[in-house]
Amino acid sequence: MENYNGKVAMVTGSSAGIGAAISKALVKRGMKVVGLARRVEKLGDLKKQVSKEPGQFYGVKCDIRNEKDIIGAFEWVEKNLNGVDVLINNAGLMKDTNLTDGDTEKWRTVFDTNVVGLCIATREAVKSMKKRNVPGHVIHINSIAGHRIHPGMAHLSNVYSGSKFAVRALAETLRLELEHHKLKIKVSNISPGYVKTEFFSASGYGVPEAFKDIAHLNPEDLADAVIYALSAPSNVNVSEITLLPI
């Protein structure tokens, strides 16, 4: 991580859970972290929590479903910090709906957040990295739901799993595209199993009964995986990490 000391990382969905844990871990390792989220008060709390760490934290209000917000956030980073070196696409959600008689707007919200917003943020990050010819890194925080669908979870995963399968494909497509253009930008896809956060309550489901007493990961486990991917030697791209609780 020494190579990233003083470098700039942007973390979407930074206000709580996995995004907050990743932001803290990067600030502790001397990075300048720009956290994007809608809840600015949470970003302010996070800034206070890491105020004595070697790096710095900057909170920028951004709705990942809003292209103007995303582009505005990257313009802020360009103006104030000279550009981004690491992008962590962490923002994601699930909605209380289904496929057989589901709500179109909820489907659209899931894909706009998990897929389209991710693509826009990635595009803007690559532009910044390419412009300065830096050895950047794009990391997608995905899900085990992007690899397989558990039969007992089908009624919950609905379009969410579809969006996460898309994220996995987008990570690999991006890696190949960057390789084709001979850009020095790594791409990692990190897929965890169940992580104990406010994710389910935010989705409108509440925590499903099946998840209340099962083994789980903690947000800090995802932060460790991000550090692992970033710490790889310059000739190594950690393309896929799968984390399962025991």
- 140/130 Cα distance (integer angstroms): 19
CA distance to 71, 217, 220, 238, 239, per residue, from 233 (Å): 31, 26, 22, 10, 13
No. of H helices and E strands in the chain? 8, 7
Tally of domains within the chain:
1
Whether the pLDDT of residue 156 is over 70: the answer is no
pLDDT of 94: 87
Whether the pLDDT of residue 35 is over 60: the answer is yes
Neighbours of 33 (CB within 10 A): 29
Whether the pLDDT of residue 10 is over 80: the answer is yes
Quick: pLDDT tens for 170-206.
Answer: 999 999 999 999 999 999 999 998 887 665 555 555 6
Alpha-helix residue ranges (DSSP H) falling in the chain: 17-28, 40-49, 67-81, 104-111, 117-132, 154-180, 199-203, 219-231
- 17/90 Cα distance (integer angstroms): 10
Quick: pLDDT tens for 48-72.
Answer: 999 999 999 999 999 999 999 999 9
Give this prediction's pTM.
0.93
Quote the radius of gyration of the chain (alpha carbons, Å).
Answer: 17
* Token reading at 124: 């803007």
pLDDT of 215: 83
Q: Which residue has the higher pLDDT, 187 or 96?
A: 187
**26: CATH:** 3.40.50.720
- 170: containing domain: 2-243
Q: Which residue has the higher pLDDT, 45 or 158?
A: 45
Enzyme catalytic residues: 160
Nearest CA to 172 out of 237, 92, 87, 93 is that of 237
